[in-house]
């Protein structure tokens, strides 16, 4: 039989750091059955039969949050063999509140006082021997970050678990309270194990509804409750809470010696600037700008370009050897080719402007017989092959294509493998380097303690439209990719706020939507600089308006939960913890998003390449696109989008394929308009696309793709995090509905204001705008008198 040891403690007490140190790479990550709270377990290093369970960070065993319910149910129902109770030594008084509840469960407990190095540095003193005697359990000093004392704590926990001793809590409350507890214990009978009777008795006195659900026989304790409330003139939950703190105060007075000459800590000094009312937001903006600049534009961008152009492209020069020589040869060939082309077109040309890949003039060449002769020699020699310079490593598609050609693979199968499977996997993995850099930065900011401050700062703004500060973090992460952004909603305790955050996070334009923005701005608005920023403002406005409207519905009614969170001391995180956090996020992205996009791309390839011609079904030629299955589907759904200004089947298909992956919108336009490949900014299709839509319709198309349901990968994340089919379809329905309504209003009213006609669509748009304004300004029906405050604890 394996030994189960649970790690329990407050948020930010160092519990997860301890878990990582004890288990190393022997970890398994999942979700608790039926809920979205993350579940981590692993095997203790050096002990194959010892399983460590990392419980969610909680403040108590009362059912205030989903995490607390999950942790409590595990401890009551699974009954681990021992508990390592991690206590933050710098905040020991607050942490002991949970400790008193844990010791009432009748499970052997080892108390690990963490951050003892910081305690000593501050000049405080914790008397371990006295604390051990007062609490009646083993107490050890540890520093999870530095790894000191952790093995000793683990070994003691294993020894205690294997002894299987019965545990009785030593702490007692006031005489009247103890009498009521004992009276309830006696009436529980055999329906509750003897070791858990005190815990269940206290919870019944606290009127804990969820604990009643776990009991087969519930005694009537109304007499004991009334007696206590009459005696103390307070509700029983507050009475017992007060008794716990009275007991804790007696412990602190004997076991802890505070440094009365203590000065402001380094963290306090930093927070005076970082959380300042006026400086906090500008500092945060600068920090995040640097993070995304490095992740997307510089280091991450270079790595992603290498992955897309090299690993999943034609290939790359090993260690860059030969790259410069090839680029020089390619530049010479391009120069010669432009000279020859200009002379062939106009025999009397006297000079030629040589342009680069961005059509910028880099040189003006005067034409002479010798110049033309030299250019013709270069062109006749042929375009330089990068494989002839340095050591050339072919990309994955090239290797696979060569292998398929060697075995004589059928054309349709070759197309499926290269254009479906390889392209689908490459589309995902090509973004991984960028994601790794971003995740490293985010992991560092979280581990050092800064992200906790950000949530506290943003709470002032978000609370005004129905969300708490913790909702900001998923939206911030969602600017890179919606999948990890949605997953980050797990940090929000309030279930209503979590669901609303999941529904609105993907309104923020992610990296995959940038090609759509660039395409529309370039093709229809001549590169107007206002188009891209307006896309972000539309996303932010959608979040704010959604928060206001949804909070006035029955599903989300009620004020945001009180925002109480830890502001841990700033510290330098360990490299192993940062890398582990980065890899966990990246692996989730690769595994989940890669699978969904892979399958959907295969389906898209099939629909685009097969159809009926002359009554027979088969693979189509490039010019038979209108006979494809995709064309038939597009023609069927196109009328739905006619009121939005883009009822052509090609536009409809592009929008639908965007549900697979938003990058598909630009690629689909390229294929549908007769181009096999298109650049990311869509240069090749600008001309034809500009002639197929008006500017108003184009902006309507842009907004629809920004606000509608995200890609399949993100929808999969929504399904997992909602963990409820009805809620999943509610979220998708709301996103698509809002996108449709906003796009319809933009097209119909925009057309009217630019000189278009007045019709039924215009009337509908006006009515929708009136209804939307009403939903925004109507008063709250619930929770209008509750004034919820914000509290940060250190």
Which residue numbers belong to the known binding site for Mg(2+)? 20-21, 23-24
Distance CA 126, CA 116 (A): 9
Distance CA 308, CA 690 (A): 28
User: What residues are designated binding site?
Assistant: 9-16, 20-21, 23-24, 34-38, 54-57, 114-117
Distance CA 234, CA 580 (A): 48
Q: What are phi and psi of 456, to 5 degrees?
A: -65, -40
Distance CA 703, CA 632 (A): 25
Residues 6 or more apart whose CB falls under 8 angstroms from that of 195 comprise 105, 106, 107, 166, 167
Quick count: other Cβ atoms within 10 Å of Cβ 769?
A: 15
Q: Considering only CA atoms, which of 72, 6, 18 is closest in space to residue 577?
A: 18
Distance CA 383, CA 391 (A): 18
**CA 487 to chain centroid:** 4
Distance CA 95, CA 232 (A): 26
Residue where the block lists tokens 């809590």: 169
SS3 at position 403: helix
Q: Considering only CA atoms, which of 197, 654, 350, 21 is closest in space to residue 7?
A: 21
CA torsion sign, 327 to 333 to 336 to 342? negative
The conformation of residue 104, written as its DSSP 8-state character, comes to T
Distance CA 662, CA 420 (A): 16
What does the angle CA 532 – CA 537 – CA 543 come to, to the nearest 5 degrees? 135
Give Cα separations from 338 to 150, 351, 382, 729 (angstroms).
70, 11, 14, 56
Distance CA 461, CA 681 (A): 35
Distance CA 275, CA 735 (A): 34
The structure tokens listed for 162 are: 């294997």
Segment holding 4, helix H or strand E = strand 3-9
Rg (CA), the chain: 32
Q: For residues 769 and 743, is the Cβ–Cβ distance under 8 A?
A: no
Residues 6 or more apart whose CB falls under 8 angstroms from that of 400 comprise 417, 418, 422
Q: For residues 130 and 103, is the Cβ–Cβ distance under 8 A?
A: no
Distance CA 86, CA 9 (A): 5
DSSP-assigned letters across all residues of 323-362: HHHHHHHHHHHHHHHHHHHHHHH-TT--EEEEE-TT--EE
The conformation of residue 207, written as its DSSP 8-state character, comes to T
Distance CA 600, CA 232 (A): 64
Distance CA 712, CA 656 (A): 11
Q: Considering only CA atoms, which of 496, 472, 490, 495 is closest in space to residue 556?
A: 496
| Bridge partner list, 351 | 366
Taking every pair of C-alpha atoms in the chain, what is the biggest distance, in angstroms?
Answer: 112
Burial 229-244 (b: 16+ CB within 10 A, else e): eeebeeebbebbbebb
Q: For residues 430 and 307, is the Cβ–Cβ distance under 8 A?
A: yes
Give Cα separations from 97 to 56, 85, 242 (angstroms).
16, 12, 10
Q: For residues 578 and 447, is the Cβ–Cβ distance under 8 A?
A: yes
User: What residues are designated binding site for GTP?
Assistant: 9-16, 34-38, 54-57, 114-117
| Bridge partner list, 680 | none
């Amino acid at each position: 039989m394996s030994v189960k040891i649970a790690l329990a403690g407050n948020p930010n007490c160092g519990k997860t750091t301890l878990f990582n140190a004890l288990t190393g790479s022997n970890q398994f990550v999942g979700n608790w059955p039926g809920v979205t709270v993350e579940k981590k377990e692993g095997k203790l290093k050096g002990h194959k039969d010892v399983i460590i369970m990392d419980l969610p960070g909680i403040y108590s065993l009362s059912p205030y949050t989903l995490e607390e319910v999950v942790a409590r149910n595990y401890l009551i129902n699974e009954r681990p063999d021992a508990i390592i109770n991690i206590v933050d030594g710098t905040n020991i008084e607050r942490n002991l509140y949970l400790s008193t509840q844990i010791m009432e469960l009748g499970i052997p407990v080892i108390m690990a006082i963490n951050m003892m190095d910081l305690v000593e540095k501050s000049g405080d003193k914790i008397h371990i021997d006295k604390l051990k005697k007062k609490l009646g359990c083993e107490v050890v000093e540890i520093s999870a970050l530095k790894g000191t004392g952790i093995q000793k704590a683990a070994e003691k926990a294993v020894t205690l678990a294997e002894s299987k001793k019965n545990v009785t809590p030593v702490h007692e409350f006031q005489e009247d309270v103890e009498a009521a507890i004992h009276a309830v214990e006696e009436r529980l009978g055999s329906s509750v194990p003897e070791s858990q009777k005190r815990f269940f008795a206290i919870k019944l006195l606290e009127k804990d509804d969820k604990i009643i659900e776990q009991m087969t026989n519930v005694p009537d304790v109304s007499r004991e409750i009334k007696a206590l409330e009459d005696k103390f003139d307070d509700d029983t939950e507050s009475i017992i809470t007060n008794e716990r703190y009275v007991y804790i105060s007696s412990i602190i007075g004997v076991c802890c010696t505070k440094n009365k000459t203590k000065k402001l800590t380094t963290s306090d000094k930093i927070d005076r600037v970082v959380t300042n009312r006026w400086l906090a937001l500008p500092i945060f903006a600068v920090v995040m700008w640097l993070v995304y600049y490095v992740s997307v534009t510089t280091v991450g961008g270079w790595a992603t370009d290498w992955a897309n152009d090299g690993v999943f492209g034609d290939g790359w020069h090993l260690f860059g050897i030969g790259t410069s020589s090839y680029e020089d040869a390619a530049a010479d060939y391009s120069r010669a080719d432009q000279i020859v082309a200009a002379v062939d077109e106009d025999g009397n040309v006297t000079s030629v402007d040589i342009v680069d890949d961005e059509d910028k003039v880099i040189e003006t060449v005067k034409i002479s017989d010798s110049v033309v002769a030299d250019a013709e020699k270069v062109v006749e020699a042929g375009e330089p092959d990068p494989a002839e310079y340095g050591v050339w490593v072919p990309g994955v598609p090239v290797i696979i294509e060569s292998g398929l050609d060697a075995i004589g693979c059928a054309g349709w199968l070759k197309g499926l493998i290269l254009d479906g499977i390889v392209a689908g996997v490459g589309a995902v993995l090509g973004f991984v380097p960028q994601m790794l850099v971003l995740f490293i930065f985010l992991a560092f900011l979280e581990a050092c303690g800064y992200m906790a401050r950000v949530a506290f700062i943003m709470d002032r703004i978000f609370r005004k439209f129905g969300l708490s500060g913790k909702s900001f973090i998923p939206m911030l992460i969602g600017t890179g990719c919606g999948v990890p952004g949605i997953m980050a909603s797990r940090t929000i305790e309030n279930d209503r706020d979590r669901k609303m955050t999941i529904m609105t996070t993907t309104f923020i334009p992610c990296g995959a939507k940038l090609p759509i923005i660039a395409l529309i701005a370039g093709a229809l608005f001549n590169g107007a600089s206002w188009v891209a920023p307006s896309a972000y403002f539309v996303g932010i406005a959608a979040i704010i308006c959604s928060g206001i409207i949804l909070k006035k519905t029955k599903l989300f009614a009620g004020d945001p939960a009180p925002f109480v969170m830890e502001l841990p001391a700033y510290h330098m995180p360990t490299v192993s913890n940062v890398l582990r956090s980065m890899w966990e996020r990246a692996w989730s992205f690769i595994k989940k998003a890669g699978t969904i996009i892979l399958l959907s791309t295969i389906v898209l390839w099939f629909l685009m390449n097969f159809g009926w011609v002359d009554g027979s079904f088969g693979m189509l030629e490039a010019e038979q696109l209108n006979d494809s299955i995709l064309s038939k589907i597009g023609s069927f759904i196109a009328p739905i989008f006619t009121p939005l200004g883009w009822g052509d089947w090609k536009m409809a298909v592009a929008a639908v394929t965007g549900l697979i992956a938003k990058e598909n919108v630009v690629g689909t336009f390229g294929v549908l308009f007769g181009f096999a490949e298109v650049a990311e900014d869509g240069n090749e299709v600008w001309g034809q696309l500009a002639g197929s839509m008006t500017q108003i319709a184009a902006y309507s198309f842009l907004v629809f793709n920004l606000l509608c349901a995200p890609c399949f990968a993100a929808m999969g994340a929504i399904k997992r995090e909602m963990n409820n089919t009805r809620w999943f379809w509610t979220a998708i329905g709301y996103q698509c509905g809002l996108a449709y309504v906003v796009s319809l209003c933009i097209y119909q009213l925009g057309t009217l204001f630019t000189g278009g006609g007045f019709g039924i669509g215009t009337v509908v748009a006006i009515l929708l705008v009136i209804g939307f304004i009403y939903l925004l300004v109507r008063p709250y029906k619930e929770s209008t008198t509750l004034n919820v405050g914000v509290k940060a604890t250190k």
